A and B are shown apart, each in its own frame.
Chain A
């Protein structure tokens, strides 16, 4: 490889970096994407030229077929299917890297000059290990992504699938893959060329594929965004390592960039969910240790080093408080009854008919609350994606705005099945992105707003996350929906979300309106009632 080629590779890698950094701002994102694509195109042409393979006819039909299928899918796929599409593409990239690794470990595809340098054995082991690593990581990416895509496309069960001795096998396959790669590094070139080498390669293929299958099957719905992001990072790493095997700087650089940024994105999401990557890969260990609450509070006190007496005292006080709350609740109920009976008496008066319209507005209904609101925050979740209710959400937002209300959207970092899932869906229906707020930016405003409208979100606004220790969502930052005076919940049902934790908001007595059913229909109903 000449100096010129190295310079060109670096330049292209810088172009890719520039493209990515432009993609991190909305205004320059489109140009950034085109820039990265352009850099990649130049990279392909440069490879064709520098390796002098223009005349290799087999390249062209494969390239054309792949490009045709890819473009077709890019145009036809629905926005709602975006997560599985990204997962699928990602897997294919990983598969390609694995094949490149296989080819180079078979010693195919090196120019004579390169092969000559192998003769002294200096870079032989390096190439072999790199190629086998590319095979392993590429296959993990391929199989893992296919499983993820299958789950997102509902071909496979969305719930975590756990086979007997699942963790053991997962670990075993990973260890075996590593051991086999290390083992092959220790082989002499002669012995690796024989049947033993082939067995090693087959072993690596089988073990890494099984690892991909085992770990991806265990991931459930809500952890999907993180898994996809991780697989995305892995496919970059697979590419980079394949690049090491065949000695292509451009491939190494871009693969490295993708791998690192994918990993960072994964980290950001893990933090947002308050979960460690390891616990996701090993099946979210914390869910198993969930302890029943009373036992838990006792344990908590003990660990804080309190004596039995203070403990008892505290428990007594809590019980007293609970009693008082119950008394107060009963007082409220009796007051409400009195108000009702008074209302009925007033209704009986002849002048009541004139007042009837006003009175109707007074009875609390979700639609009434919405029509009076001047400041509304909408919280979308995976349910909105499932019901494809983003169009209705848009209509409702328009309607509210036409009445002079301010409408904002609160987006939890892990709402949906993919990072930024909600943003894409809302952008699809032309909702201005300046109305979309990240959790940190809007969380203090929930207390000040008039109404919060929840559309198909549960775990991301479950107040239990703050205090239900031992549950999978404990400690996860949530949207402060419970701080709002009025909350309208358009969820399909009241079942706990993926995390399996009851949402205390559902049973709040005041200011919560449950509109259960398909969000498309409930939103439609809300709109018609508002009119």
Chain B
């Protein structure tokens, strides 16, 4: 049964995502991170030896690395987290077969309804495992694979092993190592050459239990000339103790292929969201990250595109909205590793009620990547004097013949703008919502209509009660 949660609602922003579901679960690993827990996960998943070794090596890598000293404050006790919670026996192909209380959860989040209306396929992950999966029949017939990553380890071992951990190895950073050790769930997608997927594939990630860690692992391979739009949403109820979400997302976009990866992250404000996302784009391929961060206590996430071959394009649109008790350390990375590559970063951040938004971005042009173009625009909007915005742009250029642009602006909602809208009969909160929506409009209009509506609604929720 899903119950509305209000008693722990510390910041008074009750929203429709803040409910928890009473579930029994099939298996819950002991609290804390040990080799035993890692082995247990591997046992339950009945994994091949190479994956078990990959996990154990990653655990050693994680333990040998210090916590990052930059970004946000990481008050994490790694021994106070559940690393694996299996909610059901298996992933189902029909919602009717998903346990009722979990199905209720996704009903409440509107996933089955969205699936009927405009999605080509869905994965729903609850705690550590994907509990539901679907893919339109015609896509399956064309050879598109859309499974949870665990299934891919069993059913598509060659394809998976060729790419898994290659874009983001466990040695990349401490949290990539952590994910590599305890990963579970996530999406595995393969789009065969020339297949254009018209409607988005969506994954929905839900953390329900307290002190839970969710470590999904997503791998997307878009073969030559193919295209895909993948969308993910994330929510969790509010608890008094922190939870951890630490995903790894690897994307390979081959010659002439196209991938757009859209995230609308609305985690509860007690979740550490520490995610590594990176794509390799090959000749004339295009990779786009649309990354919306509205929830979480601390997000550290910098989706990256490495442009590996001539003509590759990387575009990153980032929206961060931080309110009381939130720090969004979000941004983007573009690496020009080949000539004639084009990259663009557009970042918009909003801070209110003492929230802090940081833009952290890297633009790197490697030797030989001549005739590359890169443009970064980052705009910050600060709604009140208690809130904060920072910009950390890193630019490394090892080539002469390149075009690099960087613009940054920080603005506050001006008294004059506010007065103008008030003088037309808008209330203060309507006026500031309108200004904020206008501020992110250039990004929202890039989203498919359904997500644009959702994004505006989330902004509305964030803005409610913001003006006193």
Q: Do A and B come from one complex?
A: no
